[in-house]
Structure 1
Amino acid sequence: MVNFILPKISPIPKDTEFTGKYAVITGASSGLGLEVTRQLLRMHASSVILAVRNVAKGEACAETLRQECDTQNQSPKSIIKVMELDMDRYDSVQRFAKQLREEIPVVDLLILNAGIGLWNLERSSTGHERTIQVNYYSNVLLIAELLPYLEAGAETTGSPARISWVGSRAHEMSSLDKVPIEAGGEILENMDKDEAFTSFQRYGDSKLLCALFMYSLAPRLDPKKVIINMVCPGMVNTSMSDVLPIHLRLIMIAVKAMRARSVEVGGWIILNGALVAGPESHGKFLKDKAIADKSRYISSPAGQEAQKKLWGETIAEMSKLTSLPVEFQ
């Protein structure tokens, strides 16, 4: 039984620092991404890169953050840089990765926060259903493009790079559990079918794909070079529910008023997974601050088969776009 009231969360330990280090936060112009950036600056980050779709909005956020740092005398020397990253488009992901590799010598932390939830079926320019494109495909491509760069940086610094992917408990309620893919069918192809789209289900579907991919990738990585985990901060009071029809939005506003965490608390949870949790969190899903067991579906024979199938299908898609690192082959 799920508790309606979420447990209280303690702040990040005061001695947690990010002095002299570099972080990239996707979806950093609002909500959790912006708050995580703010908290990293308070930890004396050397540089934070706001990876955003809307550069003008990102620059406005960056200026606000600079003013906050000056006013509060926190990290006044931190570099705040805005870079374009549109997760709707493969070419934008690849341009961003190329620019990052060329302009930033080392990235210590990559927060994969950008994500969407849609009420109606939409398609990206790639032809894929848009929720799956933004939440899954583009994140996988970004990891593939940056993995050798992150590993090289770890060799330079002597510490593993960290990837913390913002996930969701919603992956435990995926349509794959309720309506398994037919024998011989493909998971990603099915996700693109109009008839497979369900408003309430698609966000959870996308987050299941992310979790399955992480569980496949992590054993292929050397945690002395790259530690990857996935973190669910629970319900947080952000604008994601604004896509809902007005009658459902009003209900969600009431629910969030009683149950949702603030973005500050959500930021604590994400940065716990990114900075406080140790190597034991590699390849794990964290609910709040605790490492969680794999979901019932993922642990089942059907889920394990889906994980293998998804890996193969994803590698086939990524191979069309870029030269894959050895961990993907």
Structure 2
Amino acid sequence: MGQSKVTPLPSNLDLAGKTAVVTGASAGMGLETARQLLARNCDTLILAVRNTTKGEACAQELLNNPTIKAKAKCPVVKVLPLDVDRYESVQSFAKCLQKEVPVVNILVLNAGIARLNMERAPTGHERCLQVNYLSNALLLFDLLPNLYSSAEKSGFATRVTWVGSRRHDGGGTFESAPPAPGTSILNRLDSDERSSVTTRYADSKLLCAMFMYALAPRLDSSKIVLNMVCPGMVSTGMSDFLPWYGRVLAGALKVVKGARPVEVGGLLIVNAAVVAGVEGHGRHFSDKEIMEVSEYIRSEAGQAVQKTLWEETLQEMREITSLPAEIS
């Protein structure tokens, strides 16, 4: 069964005077999101990328895009290094961003991975857990003061959109194999025994959703609007890590499911980032619609996992950074 049709963004959407940051911006939906923001007159765009050489080539590609090149005002496109495998890179990026960019109006947390085999990040954590969840949590905590001050300087709430996945909805291995009371949630995802290509990505996205649901009520939504969005199945290079036969199967699935062009994926991210209203604060969007909190997350077992996850995440972050007052 194909995916539903997506309606266009408002024709009068104008981001003149805005500064946006997109992580994982050197390919796929990150690069496309960057292009669409610039096409709607975003003044300054920060491409946060692992490979700065590739990032500079992407910046030039964006500036040479006919739609963007035809604009009366040439936008500023900057490339800053961000390796979400490493905590120290996340913190260096946050410090550099605050130094070079006085106001951030839009932050898109797009960087993410899926992996076939069990891999460890330099932090020692399983890589999907590190890249998809922990590094994004650290980046948010380190940037919160800047995001609040940006709202005060601009007079508008800073928008933060995190790219999630509907695959978190089923509860993953946490529902199929509930953790015993007192079990570490982070250690569970770090475990070689629990790590599986069929669940690793979905479990990491479940943690992202739980963290977003826990963090959002602690934020002042008049200053920071935080949401999450799943753009559905999109034709990107996300499955390139698979062996050839896996890529063939993934390609067939994309045909059967009607995978969307990358332009549609970018459109849905931009919609969540700049079109959706404050009613979307602390909510997960599926396409353009707000999802109900999943049955598993609402359950007693899910709430217990979310509470443990929040406490463990804060404990890990305290060893790395100073948490903002409203969080600690």
- TM exceeding 0.5: yes
CA drift at 1:211: 0.2
Per the alignment, residue 204 of structure 1 pairs with: 202
The equivalent position to 1:87 in structure 2, one of 84, 94, 113, is 84
- Tell whether the 8 Å contact from 2:63 to 2:69 is kept in structure 1 after alignment: no
- Tell whether the 8 Å contact from 2:161 to 2:226 is kept in structure 1 after alignment: yes
Per the alignment, residue 97 of structure 2 pairs with: 100
- Unmatched segments (≥5 aa) in structure 2: none
- 1:76-133 CA-partner distances (Å, limit 9, x unpaired): 4200000000000000000000000001010000000000000100001100001100
Per the alignment, residue 250 of structure 1 pairs with: 248
CA drift at 1:249: 1.3
Amino acid in structure 2 at the alignment position of 1:90: Y
Q: Tell me the SS of whatever aligns to 2:326.
A: helix
Amino acid in structure 1 at the alignment position of 2:98: R
CA drift at 1:327: 2.5
Q: How does 1:310-329 map to 2 (within 5 A)?
A: 310-329=309-328
Q: Distance in 2 between matches of 1:67 and 1:267?
A: 19
CA drift at 1:69: 4.9
1:128 maps onto 2:130 in alignment: no
Q: Distance in 2 between matches of 1:224 and 1:115?
A: 28
Amino acid in structure 2 at the alignment position of 1:327: E
Q: Distance in 2 between matches of 1:276 and 1:75?
A: 24
Per the alignment, residue 236 of structure 2 pairs with: 238
1:26 maps onto 2:20 in alignment: no
CA drift at 1:14: 1.0
Amino acid in structure 2 at the alignment position of 1:144: F
Runs of 4+ in 1 over 6 A off after TM superposition: none
1:229 maps onto 2:227 in alignment: yes
- 1:155-185 CA-partner distances (Å, limit 9, x unpaired): 1111000100000011123111111111211
Q: Distance in 1 between matches of 2:165 and 2:135?
A: 17
Q: Tell me the SS of whatever aligns to 1:48.
A: strand
Instruction: Figure out how many residues of one structure are paired with residues of the other and give that number.
Output: 326
Q: TM-score, normalised by structure 1?
A: 0.97
- Tell whether the 8 Å contact from 1:18 to 1:44 is kept in structure 2 after alignment: yes
Q: Distance in 2 between matches of 1:205 and 1:255?
A: 21
- Tell whether the 8 Å contact from 2:18 to 2:43 is kept in structure 1 after alignment: yes
Q: Distance in 1 between matches of 2:101 and 2:68?
A: 27
Segment of structure 1 superposing worse, 209-218 or 186-195: 186-195
Q: Tell me the SS of whatever aligns to 1:164.
A: strand
Per the alignment, residue 38 of structure 1 pairs with: 35
Q: Please provide the CA RMSD for this pair.
A: 1.1
CA drift at 1:53: 0.2
Q: Tell me the SS of whatever aligns to 2:64.
A: helix
CA drift at 1:196: 1.0
- Tell whether the 8 Å contact from 2:115 to 2:197 is kept in structure 1 after alignment: yes
- Unmatched segments (≥5 aa) in structure 1: none
Q: TM-score, normalised by structure 2?
A: 0.97
Per the alignment, residue 177 of structure 1 pairs with: 175
Q: Tell me the SS of whatever aligns to 1:328.
A: coil
Amino acid in structure 1 at the alignment position of 2:184: E
Per the alignment, residue 288 of structure 1 pairs with: 287
What is the percent sequence identity of the aligned residues?
Answer: 52
Q: Tell me the SS of whatever aligns to 1:81.
A: strand
Per the alignment, residue 157 of structure 1 pairs with: 154
Q: Tell me the SS of whatever aligns to 1:243.
A: coil
Q: Tell me the SS of whatever aligns to 2:199.
A: helix
Per the alignment, residue 59 of structure 1 pairs with: 56
- Tell whether the 8 Å contact from 1:47 to 1:78 is kept in structure 2 after alignment: yes
